[in-house]
Amino acid sequence: MGTKPKALLLGKLDHAQETWNGLSPIAELVTSRARSRAEFIDECIRGAHDGVVAICDRAPSSFAATGRYDAELIAALPSTVRFICHNGAGYDSIDVPACTARGILVSHCPKVVDDATADTAMFLILAALRGFNNGILAIRAGVWKSPVPPPPLGHDPQGKTLGILGLGGIGRNLKRKAEVFGMKILYHNRTKPGDETMADGAEYVGFDDLLARSDVLSLNLPLNPKTRNIISTNEFNKMKKGIIIVNTARGGVMDEEALVEAINSGRVLSVGLDVYQQEPNIHPGLVSNPHVCLLPHMGTSTVETKTKMEECTIGNVRAALEKGTLNTVVPEQAHLAANL
């Protein structure tokens, strides 16, 4: 009898351990004892993971043992590794070109995060428009509605223009939710739609027009070398005075220092943020500002969505083991997966 391929679980499954166990007829399921990246690399070098074909990267709890999947880590992996199945929609923690160069395919979890992330964006839009954070702080401080002097009155979403930067699954989901609140939707996508139906009726505008015409701007694009700091001083200067900005994508797409300057100058009225450049550190100019609404990266933190993400990730491991391919390969490698 031939030996079964190995599948390595990094991090802890919270919802779909049974599904993982269900892979045991087709794979030897192994884990790592590493408590740090140095220990994990050491395990790899000692051959502890030789024979591993697929890695189930249960991020973010795997991060302690891996850190970024950068060129150094990818080079340390055993030569048998062909697949990394990442438990997240965003995969900026993985150097995809380094994986491609080593013949490793990467999967992520799009779609299953759309509702929870768009819900978070909608919450932040309402919170930032209405200035709810002031009230939340005031009531806890025992001063009922407001400190003296009172904070500025908020604004209604009805009739406001929402600009969506990045109209993928999350952006489209948000579009439909924001329309229920009476918002008019504009969007900009770096890859212009070939298929108009993908826009779901939203109006396409150029990047500068999006900045100039939005009352509220929502960032819904992935972080990669092309999108890092895509919103910085130049871009703030092109926006309407008093704009509201919401970021549920990745902190790295917006220059946090420039954002604090734009808030302090009054260009940006308020923000709702779920993500930051150097998590868990947040710019002190944001933490000390009672008007802005800040969440500690909770976009997909629901039982339902976390469960779907783990099922998606394990589903990719199964496809890797059974068919030698992935269900949801990252777009950069779609052509490679298609050729398998």
Ligand X SMILES: *[C@@H]1O[C@H](CO)[C@@H](O)[C@H](O)[C@H]1NC(C)=O
Residue closer to ligand X (CB basis): 32 or 333: 333
Residue least distant from ligand X (Cβ):
193
Q: How far is it, in rounded angstroms, from Cα 81 to Cα 284? A: 42
Please, which residue, 146 or 161, has the CB nearer to ligand X? 161
The answer to whether 15 is a known catalytic residue is no
CB of 204 to ligand X, least distance (A): 7
3-state secondary structure 199-230: HCCCEECCHHHHHHHCCEEEECCCCCCCCCCC
Binding residues vs ligand X (CB under 6 A): 167-168, 189, 191, 193, 198-199
In this complex, which beta carbon is closest to ligand X, that of residue 167 or of residue 243? 167
- Token readout for 205 is 């505008």
Catalytic residue among 72, 279, 304, 322: 279
Which of 15, 37, 102, 297 is flagged as catalytic? 297
Own/partner contacts of 293-301, CB < 8 Å, gap of 24 or more, are 293/124, 293/127, 293/128, 293/132, 293/133, 294/133, 295/120, 295/124, 298/120, 298/274, 299/113, 299/116, 299/117, 299/120, 299/248, 299/274, 299/275, 300/88, 300/89, 300/113, 300/116, 300/117, 301/116
Active site residue 250: yes
Smallest gap, in angstroms, from Cβ of residue 226 to ligand X? 10
Question: Measured from the CB of residue 89, what is the shortest distance to ligand X in angstroms?
Answer: 12
Question: Which of 155, 250, 267, 318 is flagged as catalytic?
Answer: 250
| Antiparallel, parallel or unpaired: β 184-188 and 52-57 | unpaired
Q: Given CA atoms 238, 244, 249, 252 in this order, what sign does their dihedral have?
A: positive
Q: Quick check: is 279 catalytic?
A: yes
Q: How far is the CB of 86 from ligand X (least distance, A)?
A: 18
CA 297/CA 11 separation, integer angstroms? 18
Closer Cβ to ligand X, 163 or 168, answer by number: 168
Q: Judged by CB, which is closer to ligand X: 111, or 297?
A: 111
Shortest reach from residue 167's CB to ligand X, in Å: 4
Residues annotated as catalytic are 250, 279, 297
